[in-house]
Chain A
Amino acid sequence: MPASLRSRSFVIMALLPALLIFIVFAIVPIFWSAYYGFFEWKGLGAAKLIGLDNYRMILEDHVFWRALKNNLILVVSAVIGQVSVALLLSLLLLKNTMFNRLMRSAVFLPMVLSTVVVGLIWGYIYHPQIGLLNQLLETLGLEAWRRPWLDDPKINMFAVSIPINWANIGPYLIIFIAALQNISSEIEDAAKIDGAIGWRKLFFVTLPMIWGTVVVTVILCISGSLKAFDHVIVMTRGGPAQSTELLATYMYNNTFTVYRYGYGSAVSTMIILISAVLIGLNHIITKRRG
């Protein structure tokens, strides 16, 4: 039939360019990085096949584990600093008043800045001498609290996590407001008749109703924190002494600073595997709930 032939060629012609770009630049690289992970290669000259050695080395590499731990610190700080704070704010900013809309915009605004701008501003805020934070502490008479915020390995991961939370809280706030506004007024009325007000209503009616959204946002936090890269590259480059190294910065530094292409590729593959495991776990947990 000519008509169905025509639609078939349309399907192919219309879908193919998008599919091709997507597969070549997003899907295939995953397999390449797993493949390059089997080689020792300095980027120039011949690559040497070394089998699973890179992957074995990763498992014994304490910097890799430290990077993973730092990523997990970011996950925890994101769940507290982004999800919980956004949830609290969304309960306060739920009603569509002028004041609330202005507040939502204020919280959302940092989201539209480039990660480089965010990293640079906060780098200046944390700067040991000229930094706004230390100057503020001095003004307040709290000179003993002054710190080299990004250089002290005890606190620099927390210092790094604050700008990331600052920049990313907005979307979570808006997601929670959307979820809360979807709770039907009948349920609200029923809860009121049953005497559920204040805290009781919050814990027994509101939170269970939006639990699905809370689960999704936690997952977004996990995958977002595994992707963390830009802010840290701009603020600390993973230093000092690799104390703020993340999986992605470790991959970058291995490949493009010390030219261990094979090892960097193997770290890339590990990032994908870890993400897949976490997403798979989430799938199992949420399925059991549903």
Chain B
Amino acid sequence: MIDARSEKMRGSLWRKPISGIAKIILLFYAIITLYPLYWLVISAFKSNQEFFNRPYSWPQHWQFDNITRAWDLGNMDRAVLNSTIVTISALLLTIVLGMLAAYVLARFPFKWSGVVKGLFLLGMLIPIHSTLVPLFIFMNKLGMLNTYWSLILPYTAFELPIAIFLGMAYIVSIPREIEEAAMIDGNGWWGIFGRIIFPLSLPIVATITILAFLRFWNDFSFALVFINSQALKTLPLSLSLFSDGFGTDYSLTMGAMFIAAIPTILIFLIFQEQIMKGMVAGSVKG
């Protein structure tokens, strides 16, 4: 008894300082990780002079006009509007078409269903950049470049596999009896999907939505290649041009980055559990 207790005490006496040191190292690591973001925020509110002379310090006079100037000069209102239109349209398409396909693939055994699943699985492995050139040529021929559709359709195409596989895994777990009951009540398949399956799948739809939102809202490569027109530039695209156009006005670019980064950071803070879980499901499947 006494031996066991003293051993236990020795253990905890040892463990405490070790875990204390580990905690300090971890905290240090977290500070290094977060510092670039902290630096972005404080720099967004400094003058260029202060940005250069006192890079680490808290802003002496908070310059909110960096944000407003960036908003005006960078046509950020237009960029935010474009990003919103493209993101919401692609989200709707991804969710509706993805969940419908997931329902069919989860519940209706048909001859080609294995092939179709394999094809979507393949889609997760395609490096999207290798499709930029052929898609550019294709859209050029169709006159689709510089339209919202030139972003909405590729976004949807590349997000569908993840949506379908997450949706399928979820729908499989819904008991079939519910569908049978709904069928007896006189619903067709469309009714069953719309009134039963889709509402019951809302938790996974939420996960798909958040993952897809982050991807669409942050996309750079498709926008870079398919959009030239000033009026259609999305947020990341106009941001990338900012750094060229206003070369030495550092705080202005920092202000623009602040505008672009805040929405996703807020979304993260609100939905972090769901985002982390979804990223795991999405990346392990991919």
| A interface residues with partner B (beta carbon < 8 Å) | 6-8, 10-11, 14-15, 17-19, 21-30, 32-33, 36, 89, 92-93, 99, 102-117, 119-125, 130, 132, 135, 166, 170-171, 174-175, 178, 216, 220, 223, 226-227, 229-230, 233-234, 248, 251-252, 255-256, 261, 264-265, 268-269, 271-272, 275, 279
A11–B111 alpha-carbon span in the complex (Å): 12
Could you name 9 residue pairs across A and B whose Cβ atoms are closer than 8 Å?
Answer: A36-B133, A106-B33, A109-B37, A112-B214, A115-B236, A227-B129, A234-B240, A248-B130, A251-B129
Task: Closest B residue to A230 by CB, please name it.
Answer: B220
Q: B272 touching A268 by the CB < 8 A rule?
A: no
Supposing A25-B154, A132-B39 touch, asked if A255 and B133 sit within 8 A by C-beta, the answer is yes
Given known A92-B22, A107-B30, contact A27–B40 (CB-CB < 8 A) = no
A115, A125, A271: the one contacting B36 at CB < 8 Å is: A125
Are B129 and A36 in contact (CB-based, < 8 A)?
Answer: no
User: Could you tell me the distance between the alpha carbons of A7 and B51 in the complex, rounded to whole angstroms?
Assistant: 65
CA distance A98 to B134 in the complex (A): 49
Chain B at the A interface: SS class:
helix
Contacts A18-B98, A103-B26; is A32 near B138 (CB within 8 Å)?
A: yes
Q: Which residues of A sit under 8 angstroms from B34, Cβ to Cβ?
A: 106, 109
Q: Any chain A CB within 8 A of the CB of B206? A: no
Instruction: Report Cα–Cα, A265/B136, bound state, in Å.
Output: 11
CB-defined contacts of A102 to chain B, threshold 8 Å: 30
Q: A115-B218, A226-B127, A251-B130 are in contact. Are A92 and B264 (CB under 8 A)?
A: no
| Contact residues of A: prevailing secondary structure | helix
Report the nearest A residue to B27, measured CB to CB: A103
A19 and B101 within 8 A (CB):
yes
Inter-chain contact A112/B264, CB cutoff 8 Å: yes
Measured in the bound complex, the distance between the Cα atoms of B233 and A39 in whole Å is: 31
Q: Are B280 and A114 in contact (CB under 8 A)?
A: no
Interface stretch among B1-9, B70-78, B168-176, B188-196? B188-196
Closest to A254 in B: B133
Which bracket fits the contact residues of B? Answer: 35 or more
Closest to B250 in A: A130
Q: Name which residue of chain B comes closest to A270, CB basis.
A: B130
Residue of A120, A121, A265 with highest tally of chain B CB at under 10 A:
A120
Report the bound CA distance from A10 to B239 in whole Å.
44
Interface on B for A, CB 8 Å cutoff?
22-23, 26-27, 29-30, 33-34, 36-37, 39-40, 43, 51-52, 55, 93, 97-98, 100-101, 103-105, 108, 110, 116, 119-120, 122-123, 125-138, 153-154, 156-158, 160-161, 164, 188-190, 193, 214, 217-221, 224-225, 235-237, 239-240, 243, 250, 253-254, 257, 260-261, 264-265, 267-268, 272, 275-277, 279-280, 283-284, 286
Q: Decide: B137 and A261 in contact? CB cutoff 8 A.
A: yes
Partner of A14, one of B100, B126, B267, B268: B100
For B164, list chain A residues within 8 Å (CB): 18
With known contacts A11-B108, A108-B272, A122-B36, A21–B153 Cβ distance under 8 A: yes
How far is it, in angstroms, between the C-alpha of A22 and the C-alpha of B30 when the chains are bound?
Answer: 40
A9 to chain B, nearest CB (A): 9
Q: Is the CB of A115 within 8 A of B220?
A: yes
Are B189 and A18 closer than 8 Å at their CB atoms? Answer: no
Contact of B190 with A113 in the complex, beta carbons under 8 Å: no
CB-nearest residue of chain B to A109 = B268
- CB-CB nearest in chain B for A93: B26
Q: Are A25 and B130 in touch, CB under 8 angstroms?
A: no
User: Chain B nearest CB: distance from A189 CB in Å?
Assistant: 17
B127 touches A114 (CB 8 A): no
Query: From A8, which residue of chain B is reached at the shortest CB distance?
Result: B110
Q: Using Cβ atoms and an 8 Å threshold, which residues of chain A touch B261?
A: 113-114, 117
- Measured between beta carbons, the chain A residues less than 8 angstroms from B105 are 15
Q: Which of A6, A110, A115, A121 contacts B257 (CB 8 A)?
A: A121
Query: Does B283 contact A27, Cβ atoms closer than 8 Å?
Result: no
